Amino acid sequence: MDRVVWEFVLSLLNIVFLDLILAGDNAIVIGLAARNLQQDTQRQAILFGTAGAVILRIAATILVVWLLKVPWLLLAGGALLILIAYRLLSEDNQTADIKAGGNLWSAVRTIIIADAAMGLDNVIAVAGAAKHNVTLVVLGLLISVPIVVWGSTLFIRLLKRYPWIIYAGSAVLGFTASSMITDERKLAPFWEQHALLRIMFIALTIAGILWAGHSKRRRSRLNAIGQQHTG
């Protein structure tokens, strides 16, 4: 009995460790998605979005055996995450006057969708550590949630003080997305044989997101300035 308990505790600690290692990207997504909201609604978006993401991740982990049999899943998730990273970077919080209401649920929806895209590799890793023990998966996620929430709140504060962090956050998302694409099992043999190409693909993906997002932000600001002058 002692051995069983000990193995359970070790597996739980391993899952929590994996969740926390992978939670940095999720905290960035949460912080970016909620950054435009008024301060009194940011916490609601973070809590609701994180809760929805955790529920979705638990369900995905339970179905991980089936998910692993679906080809091109990581490729699709990586492509979706690239679009999300670009959209989060291209949105300009300097010119937006956002009400609570609908924008709260828009942020919650973005958090859940982004976590679903980013959580594929997390789900696979956690399921392996838990050996498909649902109790371990649920406990591990519930333990790591408060840390993810705290991390996203800290990221929002840092964004207000250092706006350039948004670019670093989008770069991290780009790295995660491109890594997911290269980890797709249908494509993995090719990337394993061409390690340099893999590095170049990841670098170009990150650079493309940053360039496209920065260009969109710049155009938006120029348009806003032009409207102010004409008005």
Residues ≥6 apart with Cβ < 8 Å to 24: 151, 172
Specify burial of residue 11 (Cβ count, 10 A radius: 0-12, 13-18, 19+).
middle
Q: Provide, rounded to the nearest whole percent, the portion of the chain with pLDDT above 90.
A: 12
Q: Most distant CA pair in the chain: distance in Å?
A: 77
- Encode pLDDT of 129-182 as tens digits: 676 577 887 788 777 766 666 666 666 677 678 878 778 878 888 888 898 899
Label residues 99-128 b or e (16+ Cβ within 10 Å = b): eeeebbeebbebbbbbbbbbbbbbbbbbbe
pTM of structure: 0.62
Distance CA(186)–CA(192), nearest Å, equals 12
Structural domain that includes position 44: 2-230
Number of domains the chain is built from: 1
Task: Look at residue 94 in the predicted model and tell me its pLDDT.
Answer: 43
Cα separations in angstroms, 209 against 61, 81, 90, 114, 173: 29, 11, 9, 16, 9
